[in-house]
Amino acid sequence: MRRFGTRNGIAAVCLLCCLGGAIAQGFFQFNGAAIVAVPLFAIYLAISSRYIARVGWVLLFFSAAIAVAALAKGVETHIFIEAAGRVVFLAALLTAVAFLRIAATQDPVVAVAGEFLTLQPPTRRYASLGAGGHLFGVLLNLGGLGVMLEVIMKGLESHRHEMDDFVYQARKRRMVSACMRGFSSIAFWTPFGIALNLMILTIPGLEWAHLAPYGIALAGVLFLLGWLFDTVEWWRPPSSRGRAPALTGDLPSWAHWSAVVVAGHVLVLGVTVVALDRATEYSFQTVLITIVPIYAFLWAGLRRGIGSIGDMSRRFVTQAPGFATEMSVIASAGFIGLVALEVVPVEWIADHLGWIAVRPVLTVVLLIMTVFLTGLLGVHPMISVVLLAEVVNRVGVDGLSPLALGLALAGGWSSIICMGPAITAVVYASSIVGERPMTIGVRWNGIFGLVSILLITLIVGGGVATGLL
């Protein structure tokens, strides 16, 4: 892309207008800001159309079909206004996180942290790569997964001559799987991701501060499950040890502190957002999209001087069209999840599912399994989660709290993220690693995904049955 091309500049301005519109809507309760920003978002997609992947086009087409069906049905205007607000907010969230991603990738400490985690010995490798995939995912979302996988492949390729084919393939599978599994569990709690923000928008009464401790605990359980799988699958008798030489790299003496610094950024930013959410009258989402870009500019400015802020802005302009696939997928999913409720016979479905109203444990099981199974069929959790949450809201399940509903949907989302061959994260990883999505999703992580979904179902369902959730 041309660094200062006119198209790039227009694309960047459109995204900034979406960010400004979402902030204005949050601070002043002005719905007109979203209505004005939606055409600008459409202009952004038109300008950046060459960068939209197939999955983005499919969802955009589906969004258009849903919109036409809703218009033909005579859906009320306020539904479209609400949908516009959701689309603009999701675009704004990705724009805010894009600044955070740029600030992080400009910081050499982040690169050192990734390499340090990758070069750990086998006894600590799963823990380091799982934690790395999780931390980088929290900080950079899908871009964090890409950073970690790029570092992994770079380290493997630089030592390719030291390994035979079996060792190379085994090590690649083990390291990529650890990173993917660590990344997938961010759906449980990260305030900077799409999963939790969509659920907070959809589930009345759900708050991040209430869900996060339980989500972190469940992420820890899945981390231990992954470590157990890795230990059992890759256990080697003493006679075979030493066949795979340890990876080495030229790291600075402070490399071991780099991972602490990355974790510190996640902690400081998270605490800041939560504190301001509690101290002000504004919503969690409004505080989030306001603070994240400010923090990103402060990070860049304090780390590399005031001149880095201008460099960061130029990078945003350069990279803006490249966000088109993420923007199209996530904004389409948000739009479909809301407007489809007016087209799909939700009331009819709710009437026929009335028998679950007094069965909260069975409801939890059905929700988790539905998100998981539809994800295997290619339906992204962004769509299934919103639709299922709305159906449950309309049915009104006795004994099912917003917390339990959120954990159930997050559980299905987390388990399918590293397994579904049509899920964005798996497809993205396959392009970096050079393996088919079916290989990474089903062959490498299939058993882990199945066991994790059963474990999550047992924990969340047990919590509802005992009244703890």
pLDDT in tens, 90-99: 889 889 888 8
Identity of residue 156:
L
For residues 234 and 324, which has the higher predicted lDDT (pLDDT)? 324
Whats the size of the chain, residue-wise?
469
Torsion sign (Cα): 391, 394, 395, 396? positive
Alpha-carbon distance of 3 to 59, in angstroms, equals 29
Confidence (pLDDT) at 282:
85
Quick one: average pLDDT of 165-174? Answer: 85
pLDDT in tens, 221-260: 999 999 998 888 767 544 444 555 556 666 777 888 888 8
Q: Which pair of structure tokens corresponds to residue 247?
A: 């990876």
Residues 6 or more apart whose Cβ sits within 8 Å of residue 167: 243, 244
Torsion sign (Cα): 151, 153, 157, 162? positive
Percent of residues, the chain, with pLDDT higher than 70: 93
Residue 325 C-beta-side C-alpha neighbours within 13 Å: 13
Confidence (pLDDT) at 3:
47
Q: Which pair of structure tokens corresponds to residue 398?
A: 């006795």
Alpha-carbon distance of 140 to 295, in angstroms, equals 13
Average pLDDT taken over every residue of the chain: 84
Q: At what angle do helices 6-28 and 284-304 cross, to 10 degrees?
A: 130
Quick one: average pLDDT of 120-138? Answer: 82
Confidence (pLDDT) at 2:
46
Quick one: average pLDDT of 398-405? Answer: 91
Percent of residues, the chain, with pLDDT higher than 90: 23
Compute how many other C-beta atoms are within 10 angstroms of the C-beta atom of residue 350.
18
Q: Which pair of structure tokens corresponds to residue 409?
A: 């949907």
Alpha-carbon distance of 411 to 404, in angstroms, equals 10
In b/e form, how buried is each residue of 288-306, taking b as 16+ CB within 10 angstroms? bbbbbbebbbebbeeebee
Confidence (pLDDT) at 328:
87
Confidence (pLDDT) at 347:
67
Residues 6 or more apart whose Cβ sits within 8 Å of residue 37: 17, 18, 20, 21, 22, 84, 88, 91
Confidence (pLDDT) at 166:
81
pLDDT in tens, 268-312: 888 888 888 888 888 888 888 899 899 889 988 887 777 778 888
For residues 199 and 233, which has the higher predicted lDDT (pLDDT)? 199
The 3-state DSSP class for residue 377 equals coil
